[in-house]
Structure 1
Amino acid sequence: MPTPFSRNLLALAVISAPAAALAQEQSLNELVIIGDDASASALPGSAHVVTSEDLETMKYTDIHKAVREVPGVYLKEEDGYGLRPNIGIRGSGSGRSSKITLMEDSVMIAPAPYSAPAAYYSPTFGRMNGIEVLKGPDLLRYGPYTVGGAINLRSTPIPSSEAGHVTAEVSENAGKRIHSWYGNSTDNAAFMIETFQEETNGFKELQQSSRDTGFEKQDYVAKARFNSDASAEVYHQLDLKFQYSEELSNETYLGLTDDDFQRNPNKRYFLSQLDNMDNRHNGYSARHLVELTEDLSLTTTLYRNEFKRNWYKGNFNSLIKAANNGDQTAYNQLQGEEPFGPFTLTNGAREYLSQGIEVKADYGLSLAGMRHDITVGARVHEDEADRFQPKDRYQQVISNGRPAFEFIEQIAPTGGDNRIDEAEALNLFLADRIAINPDLSVTALLRYEDIETSQTRWSTTQRTSTSETETASNDTSEVLPGLGATYRLSPTITLIGGVHRGMAPAGSGGTNVEPELSTNFEAGARYYDGALRAEAIAFFSDYENTVRNCSIANPCNVGNQAIDSGTVSEGESEIQGLELLAAYEFTLLNGLTAPVQATWTYTDAEVTKDSDDGSVLKGDNLADLPENVAAVRAGLRDGDLWDAYINISYVDETCSDNSCDRSGTDNTFRKTDDYTVVDLSGSYALNPSSRVYAKVDNVLDDQEIVSRSPHGARPNLPRTAYVGISVDF
């Protein structure tokens, strides 16, 4: 967010700058939560920006591959393409990214962030222009998840003058991708239209079937901007955005047995043949900015997101467990070699709605010889998740030596399959960044969250008051303070430190369920000297109540029972770690440069007090949390003529549940593998506006068990080659 001081600098430049350029600058400022690297270095906490130039080096369309270069971020792969990301920050838990604040252009983008936080939708990453990852006390400006961190995805901005772009790509497994946009700006109006299209047949081989295991995705965006003259006494700007996307993917919750994984990690069982995801997303936003004075501005944002999905899938976890333990009949049934059933496939039909209004005022003043940049904000929000999920019963039969499915009946939805989760939330925040002297800045923050959630279930499809079988409601009110500071020790070294109260609210489905609360500390130093940039930050989080959001994809273990909905408490815990980053650009002979960046995150976490139900014990680990995550990216560039990059990432083994490191526990099927992935890319400029490129993901073809949920061992993407061309016009 721009400070009043930075806006004063902009105002001084109005005489020589066209109004279109000023409006473009204002639009970009309101869509970001950090800004550029210089803005990140001024924050009283950990903040990282992955720029459009960074994204262009490897041309990733999977958000997992891009964020693994950011220290303090953890991920759990699931489908190999990042269709439904599982991202955590500083031990917050990665399941369905349900414990982080996920935004697009600074607007919350999860389908129902309060009532049903599991993010089954994530914006199409291939059309993004940058990523911002924010941790530390400045999180209190956003929320609702202020324990680990926030991720803001920057979409393609409206160009400052007439411009367009097209990228076309083909890849193995019949992969195709097109990304194009066109826009223009004048002094008082601007627009942009954009589309992203991607499809592939997938890399998995469905046994005894000709059906592919890939996906098709289409995404469309339209933006418009209207603004007053730059010389107007009171400057107004209105930004409008509309987005629509749809996806059809033949994805499944069914993984593999360990023995089959070792033989062929890309195999997929016949029993998952009918599984698929079908979803659609509509997003609308309107943002109005008014500069009332040189020191006072007001921003109002209205937003609405609608998401519909049907994940048609079976739950065959019991067969996987039995087959892993040597049950030959269960294994044959997975393979489609023996009859099985009756069994059910769930029409996972859900409709999500998330909408609200945000108002934010920025004011700058000098008081007692110190500069204050004050931001006051308020948001009124509501969301809901409507589940109406009938179940189809099938029988697997063997006919002429081949498997087939016979439909038996459809079961009307009741209880957990026929319910509405709802939430209403009011949050307020106050932030004051105080420049005490040229070297020392202190930021004081205060956030208030008031949340009401409810869940209603019905026993009949009519949903009458007499058919209500269960209701639940929960109220949460929390005041969350924070304090951060930066001190410039020398022209190249800045010290940072901060403490804040973090919260992750419980989703609907329970009564008197306490939110996850933690006290979070961080301290470190940043170094910047031209071509060299380095950062070291230690963090510590003391959780009073560790909460896990349960889903079929990320079930919670309570006793010997797997819970796939609601929220459970996992006791008190402590998470501590160290984040390191170093980047340097070497200058070589003949104008060649070699940029290098390395990151490493070390994390130590454990439960410090038993949970109330005794399912989690003191000394237990936290699930899906690797001890070490590292990444190195190195390149060689000849100006804008050509470039070549290598990206190496490493993820440690992780425990799939809390009990895997207990004494006497058999960890055979409780841990993932550690794995290293090496990616290569290169590009060459045909002319100033056209560029060809080629890349290979996982060039060593190292596939390991990167996840055991949902329902069996899952691999990362195998070696995959791509070629493409991009044209600017």
Structure 2
Amino acid sequence: MLALATASVAADSKSESSRVKAEKASQVSLEQVVIIGSKDEARTMSGSAFVIDEVELEKFEYTDIHRILRQVPGVYVQQEEGYGLRPNIGIRGAGGSRSEKITLMEDGVLIAPAPYSGPSAYYFPTTGRMTAVEVLKGPETLKQGPYTVGGAVNLISTPIPKQAEGLVQVEIGNDGEDRLHAWYGDSTEQLGWLLETHQHNADGFKSIDRSNTDTGLDKEDYLAKLRLNTPEGEGLYNQVDIKLQYSTEKSNQSYLGLTDADFDRDSNRRYGLSELDQMDNEHASATVSHLIAFNDELSLKTTAYYNDFERDWYKLSGGGKYIEAANTGDAIAQGILDGTEDVDGLKVKHNARQYESYGLQSELSWQVAFVGMDHDLDFGVRWHEDEVDRFQPTDIFNQVNGSLVYDSTDLPSSSNNRVEEGEALSLYIMDHISVNEQLDITAGIRYEDIDTEQKRYSDVDRSSSTVTAENSTSETLLALGATYQLNQQWGLLAGVHQGFAPASAGSEDVDPEESTNYEAGVRFTEENLFVEAIYFFSDYENSVQYCTVANPCDGQTSGSISQGEAEIEGLEFLVNYDFAGQAAYSIPVSFTYTYTDTEITSSSDDGDFLKGDSLTDIPENQWAASIGYVAASGWDTYLNASYTDETCIDNTCDRSGVDDRFLTTDDLLVFDLSASMPLNAQARVYAKVDNLLDDQEIVSRKPDGARANKPRTFYVGVKVSF
């Protein structure tokens, strides 16, 4: 497992808690913005926090964020196509479809394509080029926003090196998979730069009936960074960081899964109906950051950012009706899937969208002693705008003798010819108060003012439009947390904060998701042992489901619906221990466990959600464990195991009398194995096996049938630093 480090945390270390800004201003690097800091700092925060650093990421060299985050307690992931291209991440019961209810960032900047107008994150940063991943829950999430019901995930990109150096990594695997990761950079006293690329290709592990089309991916990512700064110790310290990123992806991925019977026969089959399905996208972003440090206690950081994401996911629409019919014994539907029955009017839609988001955020950090206590104050403001522009024609095909034959094209109707916009202003104040050597208190307030609008066009020339939905939301959110160090080993934490998730831009008169979130826990640290147990409880005044093609709301694929009041409670537990042998080796062992119980506590007005229903896509039990062997010579090996319960994909699946055969995913236990050894001081070779026992189960059923996790896959690679 991606374990936490095991350095001890003493009570007197709290004077250095939680902030990079506690260092001198000249040591702060804006081009790599953290929200937590180090693993030791995560252990002193007044809330649950988890840091997966570069050392941990190198153990398995994962490129799939799902495989990384399944090790984090309180985080749920739902796999989809096996490569983690469009992740589904949830935190503490907050919905995980397309990571729509977490605050997703890269280097402290919002990175989802349109966080307000279209919260479903169909773009996700390239995990293989990251050097750390941070997961933040509890009261501290109010500082990030806008989604505070669950938590925040921040991906940390490669920093500009302090001296001339670089890296080249080459990896190959089964199913034609290969990747290249390379970077080089340099720094002087007042200048630093970095150039980086990450290339990932695969033929895919599925086979399409009667087709030579592969089911893999071709992804390219490029990054450039530049830092300019004034000399240290000469007046006010100023630093400017520029970051430019560009990526492209072509992947032959589909929403069309399998019937359960076909899945049992061959889980890696794809029907010929999905032969044309392909995602084609490109992403570009730019950030410019400025730091001015007035002194060691007062600094101002300001960042302007811009993201552009354009995609055309050309894929079959409505294939799920054939799956549903065939699952209940319809022979004609099964013949259509098999290609033995002709059918007219198959719709293959250009799910073409252009996303644009931009904003300006600024944070004033001030360390000051007041009334005998040390205060670590943050004052922040962010102005943000984003937009989703849909223009989605549909091609009509007929299946003739098992082949798709083009028939005609339907121009977009108003639902497929629309623009959604969001504008938001947010402000926050967060105070970290060191009361004494034992007690720290965190208090925060956040204000969000959001306006969204959906505009539909009645003609392809867009000469006339109609505003079909408008929403305005203003919310003030409060947070309070505390840690108390009983002695050198034992510490307590507790917190409460108000959770918030705005309705999407296609919603009319839908209240935002609101909750009151509580947590309380204990931490124990002694030499090579760290243990943490946290109970969490969320009381939802209103829970909201975002409606998308990937996660439809009873057929509705845009806007949001209210699910009514709900309660979520659970337990997060982690233990990490390093059996330090003699000087020749060490054996790190770790274990995490999450229990979650969800319940809708009042029926919705329309009766679709009833009291006692469960929220969807949340496993009751999940755990992950790891054991490693690290030799003093540099050779190491690690074994990971992760387990996830079956989950409901529909809120009705636990109702009495409901046939839930096709309403739940399977439980899944997966083992991964890795080993590496140094060739010399600069080069290291590694080998790994994902899904060692080759266990494939139904991990996804939405929207169109059963889909499996990735099968057993072997990799070998080499990393050379210079």
Q: Which of 379, 387, 392 is equivalent to 2:395?
A: 392
For 1:377, the equivalent position in structure 2 comes to 380
Displacement of 1:451? 0.1
Partner-residue secondary structure (3-state), 1:261: helix
Report 1:164-313 matches (<5 A).
Answer: 164-313=166-315
Whether contact under 8 Å (2:18, 2:42) holds in the other structure is no
1:84 pairs, out of 83, 86, 111, with 86
Q: Secondary structure at the match of 1:167?
A: strand
Task: Find the residue that maps to 2:648 and give its secondary structure.
Answer: coil
Cα offset for 1:7? 7.6
Task: Label 1:640 to 1:68 Cα distance change in 2 as closer, same or farther (>3 A).
Answer: farther
Within 5 A, what are the aligned runs for 1:296-695?
296-315=298-317, 316-398=319-401, 403-464=402-463, 467-557=464-554, 562-589=555-582, 591-639=584-632, 641-695=634-688
Deviation at 1:449, TM superposition (A): 0.3
Query: Aligned partners of 1:354 and 1:294: how far apart in 2?
Result: 34
Please show how residues 56-71 of structure 1 align to structure 2 within 5 Å.
56-71=58-73
| Residue type of the alignment partner of 1:718 | P
- Per the TM alignment, residue 530 of structure 1 is displaced from its structure 2 partner at its CA by 2.5
Asked whether the 8 Å contact 1:7–1:294 carries over to 2, the reply is no
Any idea what the Cα deviations from partners look like across 1:330-380, whole Å, max 9, x if unmatched? 111112222111121110110000100001100111111111111000000
Any conservation in 1 of the 2:32–2:156 contact (CA below 8 Å)? no
Q: For 1:673, give the aligned amino acid.
A: D
CA distance in 2, matches of 1:455, 1:628: 39
**How many pairs align?**
707
The SS at the match of 2:67 is helix
Instruction: Measure how far apart 1:471 and its partner are.
Output: 2.2
Give the TM-score normalised by the residue count of structure 2.
Answer: 0.96
What are the Cα deviations for residues 238-260 of structure 1, in whole angstroms up to 9, with x where unaligned?
11100000000000010000001
Superposed CA deviations along residues 463-503 of structure 1, whole A, max 9, x for unmatched, are 12xx3244211000000001000100111211110000010
Instruction: Name the CA distance, whole Å, in 2 between partners of 1:142 and 1:30.
Output: 16
Report if the CA contact (8 A) 1:363-1:373 is conserved: yes
Paired letter, 2:72? V
RMSD of aligned residue pairs (Cα, Å): 1.4
- The answer to whether the 8 A contact 2:32-2:158 is kept is no
- The aligned amino acid for 1:675 is L
1:118-172 CA deviation, whole Å, 9 max, x = no partner?
Answer: 1000001111111000000000001100000100001111111111001101100
Is 2:714 the partner of 1:721?
yes
Measured after TM superposition, the shift of residue 620 of structure 1 is 0.1
Letter of the aligned partner of 1:448 in structure 2? Y
Change (3 A) 1:498 1:683: same
User: What is the rounded CA distance, in whole Å, between the counterparts of 2:625 and 2:286 in structure 1?
Assistant: 38
Letter in 2 for 1:583: N
Q: Which amino acid is the alignment partner of residue 436 of structure 1?
A: V
Which position in structure 2 is the counterpart of 1:16? none
Amino acid at match of 1:421: E
2:156 is paired with a residue of what secondary structure? strand
Q: How many angstroms apart in 2 are the aligned matches of 1:534 and 1:446?
A: 30
229-238 or 382-391, which deviates more: 229-238
1:624-669 residue CA offsets vs partner (Å, 9 max, x unmatched): 0100110001100113521000000000000011000000000110
| Partners of 1:220 and 1:245 within 8 A in 2 | yes
Other structure's SS at 1:570 match: strand
Gaps spanning 5+ residues in structure 2: where?
A: 1-14
DSSP 3-state at the match of 2:610: coil
Cα distance change on mapping 1:235 and 1:690 into 2, 3 Å: same
CA change 1:527–1:609 in 2 (3 A) is same
Aligned partners of 2:505 and 2:359: how far apart in 1?
A: 18
Structure 1 residues 572 and 6 mapped into 2: Cα distance closer, same or farther (>3 Å)? closer
* Equivalent residue in structure 1 for 2:699, among 680, 699, 706: 706
AA partner of residue 659 (structure 1): T
Q: Deviations over 1:294-352 (max 9, x none)?
A: 21100000000000000001121100101111111111111222211112111011000
Distance 2:107 2:20 in 1: 20
Change (3 A) 1:186 1:605: same
Check whether the contact 1:145–1:504 (CA below 8 A) recurs between aligned residues: yes
Instruction: State the secondary structure of the residue aligned to 2:518.
Output: strand
Residue segments in structure 1 that go unaligned for 5+ positions in a row: 12-21
Q: Distance in 1 between matches of 2:23 and 2:116?
A: 38
Secondary structure in 2 matching 1:546: strand
Assess, with a 3 A threshold, how the Cα gap between structure 1 residues 355 and 280 changes in structure 2: closer, same or farther.
same
What is residue 19 of structure 1 aligned with on the other side?
A: none
How far did 1:117 drift?
Answer: 0.3
Please report how far the alpha carbon of residue 414 of structure 1 lies from its aligned counterpart in structure 2 after TM superposition. Answer: 1.7
| 1:191, distance to aligned residue in structure 2 (A) | 0.3
SS of the residue 1:110 aligns to: coil
**CA apart distance, 1:29:** 8.8
The whole-number CA distance in structure 2 between the counterparts of 1:193 and 1:713 is 41
Q: Tell me the CA shift for residue 546 of structure 1.
A: 0.4
Q: Distance in 1 between matches of 2:436 and 2:64?
A: 43
Q: Deviations 1:656-686 (Å, cap 9, x if unpaired)?
A: 1100000000011001110100000000101
For residues 497-526 of structure 1, the C-alpha deviation after alignment (integer angstroms, 9 at most, x for no partner) is 000001001110122221000000000011
- Give the CA deviation at 1:590: 5.1
Change (3 A) 1:323 1:281: same
8 Å Cα contact 2:20-2:37 kept in structure 1: no
Secondary structure, in 3 states, of the residue corresponding to 2:43? Answer: helix
Contact 1:4 1:294 in 2 (8 A): no
CA apart distance, 1:611 = 1.1
Contact 1:472 1:510 in 2 (8 A): yes
| Alignment partners' CA distance in 2, 1:180 and 1:132 | 23
Q: 2:115 aligns with which of 71, 92, 113?
A: 113
Counterparts of 2:60 and 2:20, CA distance in 1: 34
- Report if aligned partners of 1:364, 1:371 keep a CA contact under 8 Å in 2: yes
Residue equivalent to 1:47 = 49
Q: Distance in 1 between matches of 2:282 and 2:19?
A: 40
Alignment partners' CA distance in 2, 1:661 and 1:331: 28
Please say if residues 431 and 446 of structure 1, whose CA atoms lie closer than 8 Å, have aligned partners that are also in contact. yes
Structure 2 vs 1, CA of residues 462 and 475 (structure 1 numbering), >3 Å: closer, same or farther? Answer: same
